Structure 1
């Protein structure tokens, strides 16, 4: 085999894979045409390491087949999984293709290539499947006997090596309801009482969750003890039959109307914790009024997420207004404008400029600190059936990556985003506006266990 003969075709193909622009079809003398005959493959290279020949690769990897008459390939399968062919990346001697993401049900360790007459050509190649990846649990505080869904990837059940799930304390799951590649539904086992990671094992290996079951890390508000609301409004804190553990916060009372454009109603739909106090200097170090960065570790915000549990009754669905989840630093917001040790800049104190854009005259030179400030816009109703979202009265865990806190109050891209420890002093969660209209509703949104945790 003369490798040099085929290597000369690789550079332009790899350049195309990197996104090099191509001329219009009218100017392409080598425009793809399905040819007669059958293909032959001489070897396979990784596009990420074009000097190495491979006989195996992981699902979803981009590889390059090198051979002859590859333009005769009409369809391609890896084991029993069909590949997507892009004719822009097929020449007579090279073919770029992503190995299908689907997990093969029958492993033959073959690539199957079919020409336009349906004639099959085989090539030995092994597809590797990673161990399982555990991304989220539908409800991290589910109790034994509750049905939950674990989301992730590469969940494979095999009769010779059944999928197994282990809770903290070496408590195995004994009742699995359904298994898909990206989701497993099961019943939380009796004896699951310890906080910690969940482990899942398949024939391809084991994976451990980044999230914790019964998570207490980075707790900011649990509405039983510790920090309480402080700002302009205090929403109802309730302990009743809806509770899964103590008290919870409730936005909306079932009578308060949310207009289709998410009209302003902070007295019913705004949770506020504005750091600081009426002391001179203000207290921001510990206890009530402490800056949140003194309560949880915000040293790596780019790797963190804000999490909370949420329950919305089906009788009062949410159908308008974005939940604007907004962290702010002390120079943007505090309970009072009394001095704070270590800060020499004037303090604006308590206000809602990040939401209404009405920045005071004395702070116009820093207007973008409010009007162009990033926050998360959470509106699950936007993709819900009939545009109405509820959790069917069940509690779920919501995860908002801090890397996605990048939109203004109007829904446009923000020029400034929370990115350093000091940006995480205060927290407001206000259902209002967001730039997308829904429909008038009277939502009830129950929230508990607001926390900031590493999410990767």
Structure 2
């Protein structure tokens, strides 16, 4: 069959035009793909718990609902980028974890409470409530502070604070020195607070409410007050005092460890020279001795008057020197010195009472000798080579409390 050369020449003239038309049509198709649309969020849990959400918190796994999610490039919550796993996503759903590092205290108004979805063919900003988790209070610098005292509350998610409620319905809205990461803040204690056995301070934020014991006498084993059912002192070891000019801001009687001379190297004679707080045996309120020690803590108030630069407090329960807890806060300071500006709360987890290999007891019963409570000894040792000089500290309100 003869080949028509003129026919192919005519076609070849039009090939560039046809090619341009095809490219133009394909570009139009791409341009006509609409941007992503978000219609809502739901929980990741299967039915019947896969309910529509009205707010989310950092660390929460959620499903973003909508369409045109193909070509997903990124998702931002309050301006913070979330990790995208394309294998979990479809054109209509995005399974994603809300970023945990959102600093709510420093969000600008244009990104707060927004979810931004970015794809290859567009993006959308969806208004949605992103709130911090409920605040967690891990410690209060002075759990028995008086009205007018400034205390520090430490923990996590301590931002967007709306108020702090103290026992007796005393509310404070002015907080001081709030950490931008939500790790701590300060507040002035209001007047009119009295101790009780169920009292706590509550921090209210946009994320919820967190509580911690404050002026709470539950679990008290020694308050050193004459006539008190929790007097607790064994009448030796340290010095009973009540001089408010020496240790101001206290609650009456205290026990003072104030050796009359320096403590030389490797001196463990805790029983001499006013070097111990000796607490009598009593039933520990609310303690199940079958529980692991990690569920409880020994707490006490302490006022360290002079710089503490050597030695340690060794603490024994039930006279058991095979399971001691050691407290030497000067070792954790940058300058090797520890001193308090007034009374502070010290927390010693019962899991810190360890044997020679560093292993805690299997349960509280192993610490108390099987009894519902036991004696407690707080003793000043010097296991180092540097003398302990001018140590002077007071102790009060010793208690055993549940922490977990």
Q: TM-score range by the shorter chain?
A: 0.5 to 0.7
Larger Rg: 2
Measure how far apart 1:430 and its partner are: 2.5
Asked whether the equivalents of residues 114 and 130 of structure 2 are also in contact (C-alpha less than 8 Å), the reply is yes
Task: Give the secondary-structure state (helix, strand or coil) at the position aligned to 1:399.
Answer: strand
Summarize the Cα distance change of 1:102–1:383 in structure 2 as closer, same or farther, 3 Å threshold: farther
Aligned residues: CA RMSD: 4.0
* Partner of residue 320, structure 1: 311
* Partner of residue 298, structure 1: 287
The structure 1 residue matched to 2:326, chosen from 359, 373, 377, is 377
Asked whether the equivalents of residues 131 and 206 of structure 2 are also in contact (C-alpha less than 8 Å), the reply is no
Query: Structure 2 length normalisation: TM-score?
Result: 0.67
Summarize the Cα distance change of 1:134–1:430 in structure 2 as closer, same or farther, 3 Å threshold: same
Which aligned segments of 4 or more residues in structure 1 are displaced greater than 4 angstroms? 40-56, 62-70, 89-98, 111-115, 119-126, 437-440
- How many residue pairs match? The answer is 333
Summarize the Cα distance change of 1:205–1:238 in structure 2 as closer, same or farther, 3 Å threshold: same
Summarize the Cα distance change of 1:156–1:386 in structure 2 as closer, same or farther, 3 Å threshold: closer
Measure how far apart 1:248 and its partner are: 1.3
Asked whether the equivalents of residues 111 and 122 of structure 1 are also in contact (C-alpha less than 8 Å), the reply is yes
1:158-237 matches, within 5 Å, as: 163-173=162-172, 175-180=174-179, 181-193=182-194, 195=196, 196-207=199-210, 209-213=211-215, 215-225=216-226, 226-229=231-234, 234-237=237-240
Measure how far apart 1:68 and its partner are: 6.2
1:46-445 matches, within 5 Å, as: 57-61=56-60, 77-81=76-80, 99-104=99-104, 105=107, 106=109, 107-111=112-116, 124=126, 127-157=130-160, 163-173=162-172, 175-180=174-179, 181-193=182-194, 195=196, 196-207=199-210, 209-213=211-215, 215-225=216-226, 226-229=231-234, 234-240=237-243, 241=245, 242-243=247-248, 244-253=250-259, 255-257=261-263, 259=265, 263-266=267-270, 267-268=272-273, 269-273=275-279, 291-293=281-283, 296-299=285-288, 302=292, 303-313=295-305, 315-321=306-312, 323-328=313-318, 333=319, 354-355=320-321, 370=322, 373=323, 375-392=324-341, 394-402=342-350, 404-408=351-355, 410=356, 412-414=358-360, 416-419=362-365, 422=370, 424-432=373-381, 440-442=387-389, 443-445=391-393
Measure how far apart 1:452 and its partner are: 1.5
Measure how far apart 1:120 and its partner are: 8.7
Cα shift readout 1:240-287 (whole Å, capped 9, x = no counterpart):
22151222112243733264xx641312433334xxxxxxxxxxxxxx
Asked whether the equivalents of residues 271 and 430 of structure 1 are also in contact (C-alpha less than 8 Å), the reply is yes
Measure how far apart 1:309 and its partner are: 0.3
Q: 1:449 and 1:433 mapped to 2: Cα distance?
A: 25
Q: Which runs of 5+ in 1 are unaligned?
A: 1-39, 274-288, 334-353, 356-369
Task: Give the secondary-structure state (helix, strand or coil) at the position aligned to 1:382.
Answer: helix
Measure how far apart 1:163 and its partner are: 1.7
Summarize the Cα distance change of 1:148–1:210 in structure 2 as closer, same or farther, 3 Å threshold: closer
Q: 1:175 and 1:112 mapped to 2: Cα distance?
A: 37
Q: 1:143 and 1:165 mapped to 2: Cα distance?
A: 15
Cα shift readout 1:71-99 (whole Å, capped 9, x = no counterpart):
x66xx64213455x6xxx95665787562
* Partner of residue 450, structure 1: 398
Asked whether the equivalents of residues 162 and 173 of structure 2 are also in contact (C-alpha less than 8 Å), the reply is no
Measure how far apart 1:110 and its partner are: 0.7
Q: 2:223 and 2:51 mapped to 1: Cα distance?
A: 55
Cα shift readout 1:22-78 (whole Å, capped 9, x = no counterpart):
xxxxxxxxxxxxxxxxxx9999897887995976542133568997667x66xx642
